[in-house]
Structure 1
Amino acid sequence: MKDKGVKRLLGKLTLLMLPFLIWPLIEVLFLPMNFFTFRIWETISVNKMLVMSGPFYPNMHLKMEEEGELAPHTPYAEKRVVEWYTDAYGYRNRDLKCDVLLIGDSNITGAKLSQDETLAEVLERQLGKDVYSFAPATVNRFLATDRFIETPPELVIVSSIERRIPELPPVGANGLNSKLRNASGNLISSSQALTWMAVTADRISKLGLYHKTLANLERSFGKKEYISYNNEFFIEGDTANRTFSEEEIQYIADVLEGYKKALEERGIKFIFMPIPNKENIYYELLPSKKKPDFLPRLMAELQKRKIDAVDLQTNFEDLYQRKHVSLYPADDAHWNDVAVKVAAGLVTARLQGDVPDKNKDSNFFVKYSD
């Protein structure tokens, strides 16, 4: 009798759990990939299968109306149709050609930007060279990727949003993990069956309905907090513009100098391009109205060490404060297409030896902001 009771209980529990076990399979096999997501980023980003080569599913082409990451599904969301392509390794490129390689975060990937608005494609059109977006990724991931050892780029531009610069890993950090990821990624990429299995398993792990329902409940009950001033949304607010110690500045410069040396040993030119926080350029909208000095101090130290760097803050400030040009979406912390054009123009000018003087002529800024 006891055995029958236990079996009956297990049967009922199985029936109870069955919908929860089957539903993720229904999501993957029958529903559109972006059915529960508000951006392509969440739709195709790798969630659990961190043995794949890149941060996104390979060989993808999607077009979708997106909203900014800071206020999705709210009256403040700014909807925008964007298009994405990913290459065979899961990076946001149309192909694998690479004369110039960009290493960076989601700004380099191009969150809330369409494919032809990403820095890689804008810079490619301006330089007339093949530009490859290796993002999100680190210098250590690049150094451990054998395809770049076999065919190295001429130039590597390392970029980072201002708030993450202190977290840039020194050369050698997580080196073993990068090498293992390279090996497993190459194995998976070599087989369509393995790629399909990895992508399918990862999509199942995302539990799209669960996470969308949870987010909706948080918004409904006011648990989702937003940092907003003057109808602009920020990711950190005043805390983003903190003061850094001299020791912190020196440490960051040491890390970047290590990047330069590691790349030069391979015969590759290095440029660093820090991207100012939205809080940096829009600091007057914040309660403290404190103007940050982190990037100017870091740039001065890099200049002392003869580390080539592109100064975006000075140029962004000029555009925003003197010309009132918007450089970030109201509902997102990433740069917009205008900021990307300015950055690409500054990099092109630097490489061609024609560094603009913002105090002499404003035509440069008009050219890349129209």
Structure 2
Amino acid sequence: MTKDIQDKGAKRLLRKLFLLALPFILWPLVEVFVLPMNYFTFRIWETISVNSMRVMSGPFYPNVHMQMEEEGELAPRTPYAQKRQVEWYTDAYGYRNRDTKNDVLLIGDSNITGAKLSQEETLAEVLERKLGLDVYSFAPATMNRFLATDRFQETPPQLVIVSSIERRIPDLPAVGQNGINSKVRNFTGNLINSSRALTWLAVTADRISKLGLYHRTLADINRAFGNREYINYNNEFFIEGEYANREFSENDLNHIADVLTGYRDALDERGIRFIFLPIPNKENIYYQLLPNQKKATFLPRLLQKLDKRGVEYVDLQPAFRKLYQQQKVQLYPTDDAHWNEVAVQVAAKLLTNHATVAQLQATPNQAKEKNMLVEYKEE
């Protein structure tokens, strides 16, 4: 009798625990299958970025077309937020492109992806229109991810432009660093891409793992208690503030220059040209708004070392500083640390004028010529 009573008590407890947990089990499913994908997000980036299923080939969900009114990353859902309508396309591999053609390939961070930019304003699309060549945005990604991706071995680009925001340049991985992870990601990504069912399962599982309501509520609580992730000087928002314009040692600069030289050499072995495109921090160009008004010296010193190593680059800092300081042209959104559409146009113009890119325009694509010849013979 006592055992029966204990069993019934245990069952009642389990039922109560189940009922208590049921809303937490069902709610993520409601988020995925009932609510709009961007119901709890303030940018398309968070809406379609891969959260936990990092075995997929790209950083975003594949074959997405979405429009949304976005806010900047530094002060979302605050009185400082500046709303902007943007449009996104992602390709079959989960990168922000309309197609997968790649005469020129851009490797980089969220600036190359185009945070808070509409599709036609991204560097890849602006450069494509200027060059008349197919430009592919492989971002966010690294050189090692590129070297481990077999589709680029089958159809290699003629030119690779590696870009990085200034604050992330010291962390650029050397060739071969974490290479095994990139190879594994290439294998699993190809496997998932080979099946619509596997792609759907991966995307669905990832969306469930995001727990949008939880993270939205947590962010609202943090803001309510005054916690913030931004630095505000003179009504402009920054990520690092004065720390961004710190001095770097000669050893640091030599190490970074060696990493970039390694990129150049790895591409030379494959017959691919290389250009480095460093993007100045917002603090670099807007340094007069910082309390100490200290100028950044990192990029000029680094580029001097690249000159000695024969590494090609495009220097944006002089043009950006001239536009902002002399003509008061805004190059970054007030509520965001990424460049804006004006800065992208400047970068695209400077890239187009670079000797290597100009030579690329003047040289016919041998792969395209070969394909056209085969098609002609078949006819």
Which residue does the alignment assign to 2:37?
33
1:195 counterpart = 2:199: yes
TM, length-normalised to structure 1: 0.95
1:358 matched residue in structure 2: none
Instruction: Confirm whether residue 60 of structure 1 aligns to residue 64 of structure 2.
Output: yes
Alignment partner for residue 333 of structure 1, among 312, 337, 340? Answer: 337
Q: Which residue of 1 aligns with 2:256?
A: 252
Query: 5+ unaligned residues in a row in structure 2: which ranges?
Result: 360-379
Q: 2:265 corresponds to which residue?
A: 261
1:308 aligns with 2:301: no
Instruction: State the match for 1:130 in structure 2.
Output: 134
Residue identity matched to 1:141? R
> Offset of 1:226 from its aligned partner?
2.8
Q: Secondary structure at the match of 1:107?
A: helix
The residue identity in structure 1 corresponding to 2:98 is R
Aligned to 1:180: 184
Q: Is residue 151 of structure 1 aligned with residue 176 of structure 2?
A: no
Residues 74 and 229 in structure 2, CA contact (< 8 A), matched pair in contact too:
no
Pairing partner for 2:239 from 232, 235, 240: 235
Determine whether 1:224 maps to 2:228: yes
- Supply the AA of the counterpart residue of 2:168: R
Question: Could you give the per-residue CA deviations for residues 19-61 of structure 1, whole angstroms, max 9, x where no partner exists?
Answer: 0000000100011000000000000000000000000000000
Code of the residue aligned with 1:187 in structure 2: it is L
Q: CA deviation at 1:224?
A: 2.3
* 8 A Cα contact 2:57 2:93, kept in partner: yes
1:4 aligned to 2:8? yes
* Secondary structure in 2 matching 1:56: coil
The structure 2 residue matched to 1:352, chosen from 350, 353, 358, is 358
Q: TM (normalized to structure 2)? A: 0.92
The amino acid of 1:97's aligned partner reads K
- The percent identity for this pair of structures is 74
Gaps of 5+ in 1: 354-370
Partner secondary structure for residue 349 of structure 2 = helix
Larger radius of gyration: 2
What SS class does the counterpart of residue 232 from structure 2 fall into? strand
1:74-85 to structure 2, matched below 5 A, reads: 74-85=78-89
Deviation by residue 1:93-131 (Cα, 9 ceiling, x = unmatched):
000111000000000000000000000000000010000
Runs (4+) of structure 1 exceeding 4 A deviation are none
Partner of 1:359: none
Letter in structure 2 aligned against 1:135? A
Give the equivalent residue in structure 1 for 2:288.
284
Task: Give secondary structure in 1 for the equivalent of 2:105.
Answer: strand
Indicate the RMSD between aligned Cα atoms, in angstroms. Answer: 0.7
Q: What is the CA–CA distance in structure 2 between the aligned matches of 1:335 and 1:279, rounded to whole Å?
A: 12
